[in-house]
């Protein structure tokens, strides 16, 4: 390990909460998806750090699965964004509140 694991964890935690803040604070659907991306990347950094800590390759393999999952999630959610935009003509998350959430 070139740096202590706690620093990697702190870094990825800060990045994760930045993504969470973006998801919660922004009202644009695209910006919300970008926040999700940031969170997933922070998790990937934790996995790679754990892989280096325990000297095993499994963490890195899970990052690959994480990337595949992200690709699937992004393709579906961007299709949903296009669909919602077509339906309401806006990307404001507050416009889609029929379910009174």
Partner 1 sequence: MATIIFYILGFTALIATGLCITRRNPVHAVVYLVNALFALALIFYLLGAPLVAAWEVIIYAGAVMVLFLFIIMMLELAPNPVDEAAGPGWMRWGPVLLLGLVLVACTVLLILVDGQSGEGVPTYYASPQDFGYALFSRYALAVQVVSFQLFFAAVGAFYVGKPPKRRRKEQA
CA distance 70 to 81: 16
Tell whether residue 73 is a contact of partner 1 (CB under 8 A). Answer: yes
Output Rg (C-alpha) for the chain, integer angstroms.
17
Tell whether residue 46 is a contact of partner 1 (CB under 8 A). Answer: no
Q: Which is nearer to partner 1, 57 or 99 (CB)?
A: 57
DSSP 3-state of 91: coil
DSSP state letter for 97: -
* Residue from 9, 43, 78, 99 binding partner 1 (CB under 8 A): 78
CB of 100 to partner 1, least distance (A): 23
């Amino acid at each position: 390990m070139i740096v202590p694991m706690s620093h990697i964890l702190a870094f990825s935690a800060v990045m994760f909460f930045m993504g969470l803040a973006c998801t919660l604070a922004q009202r644009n659907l695209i910006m919300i998806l970008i926040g999700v991306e940031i969170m997933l990347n922070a998790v990937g950094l934790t996995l790679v750090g754990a892989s280096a800590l325990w000297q095993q390759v499994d963490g890195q393999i899970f990052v690959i699965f994480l990337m595949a999952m992200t690709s699937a999630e992004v393709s579906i959610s961007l299709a949903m964004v296009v669909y919602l935009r077509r339906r309401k003509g806006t990307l404001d998350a507050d416009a889609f509140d029929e379910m009174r959430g």
